[in-house]
């Protein structure tokens, strides 16, 4: 199976879900249950917790015929001797490798969730 198949299936699922949650008559219904907002301080830098590292790496890309860059977050306590799940955060068209780090604070959110033991250690690219 191509490595692109899981990403294509994910994109298809996102489109399908967004279509399914639309009102049948096309009218907006404000009585619907809304998703709750994030917990207060979820993306705030907290003192006294272990932190992962967010760094920029450069790699050769045969597809574009040159160097590319990516941001990689490794969890607190990361070692090369262990295996970790990997989450790929993709920016939109016209974005660059800094989009998530600039607008989404993935390192702060992951550090806080890790400190609260709400997620497993993983690598985020």
pLDDT tens column, 43-93: 888 999 999 999 999 999 998 899 988 899 999 999 999 999 999 888 777
- Determine, yes or no, domain membership for 46: no
- Determine, yes or no, domain membership for 91: yes
Distances (CA, A) of 114 to 36, 41, 67: 21, 14, 32
Mean pLDDT of the chain: 79
Place of tokens 């917790």: 49
Residue 122 has phi, psi (to 5 degrees) of: -155, 165
Domain count, the chain: 1
- Determine, yes or no, domain membership for 3: no
Helix, strand, or coil (residue 10) = helix
C-alpha 110: how far from chain center = 10
Domain that holds residue 87: 71-125
Instruction: Report yes or no on whether pTM surpasses 0.75.
Output: no
Helix, strand, or coil (residue 39) = coil
C-beta neighbour count of 52 within 10 angstroms: 22
- Determine, yes or no, domain membership for 121: yes
- Determine, yes or no, domain membership for 115: yes
Task: Of 1-5, 14-18, 42-46, 99-103, give the range with the top mean pLDDT.
Answer: 42-46
């Amino acid at each position: 199976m191509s490595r692109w198949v899981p990403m294509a299936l994910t994109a298809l699922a996102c489109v399908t879900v967004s279509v399914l949650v639309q009102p049948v008559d096309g009218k907006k219904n404000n009585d619907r249950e809304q998703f709750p907002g994030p917990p207060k301080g979820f993306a705030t830098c907290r003192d006294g917790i272990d932190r992962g590292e967010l760094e920029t790496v450069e790699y050769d890309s045969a597809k574009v015929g040159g160097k590319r860059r990516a941001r990689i977050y490794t969890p607190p306590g990361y070692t090369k001797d262990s295996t970790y799940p990997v989450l790929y955060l993709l920016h939109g068209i016209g974005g660059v490798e800094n989009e998530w780090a600039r607008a989404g604070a993935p390192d702060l959110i992951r550090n806080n969730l890790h400190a609260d033991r709400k997620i497993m250690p993983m690598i985020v690219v």
